[in-house]
Amino acid sequence: MVVSFGDLELFNSGPAEVTPGPIELASKEVSVAGANCTLVNRGRRCRELTQTGQLSADNVDELRILTQHIEQEIDGQTETLVDQHETPWLQCVLITFEPGPILSEGVRYGVQYTATYRQVQP
């Protein structure tokens, strides 16, 4: 199974893996004179998910176009991220895409990358 984001299959040219981060409680310590500190619950923080993988293409130009299409998805819009186990992660926003150097793989070209998503409603 390949990783997909929304209706786009931008990551299907190579292997990819999504690793979910923890859900954390957002809180604040409040102290009142003469009393112990109290933790005030501010709800849950957004979960971050990290995707690592490799993109492949027949030539350098196709690979650059593919990475540009991925970078255009850094638009603040929520989509469903589907990981390598077909698990849907709802309400995700792509927040970073970091491609490495383009490498020759014989007759094809490849680039390893890291992408970070934020799940706004975990």
What are the pLDDT digits (tens) for 48-57?
999 999 999 9
Q: Report pLDDT for 95.
A: 97
Residue 47 structural domain: 4-119
Closest CA to 70 of 112, 111, 10: 10
pTM (2 d.p.): 0.82
pLDDT in tens, 57-83: 999 999 999 999 999 999 999 999 999
**Paired tokens of 103:** 């490498």
pLDDT band at 46 (very low <50, low <70, confident <90, very high): confident
CATH of the domain at 86: 2.40.30.200
| Structural contact between residues 86 and 78, judged by C-beta atoms closer than 8 angstroms | no
The 10 Å Cβ neighbour count of residue 115 is 25
Q: How many domains, in total, are found in the chain?
A: 1
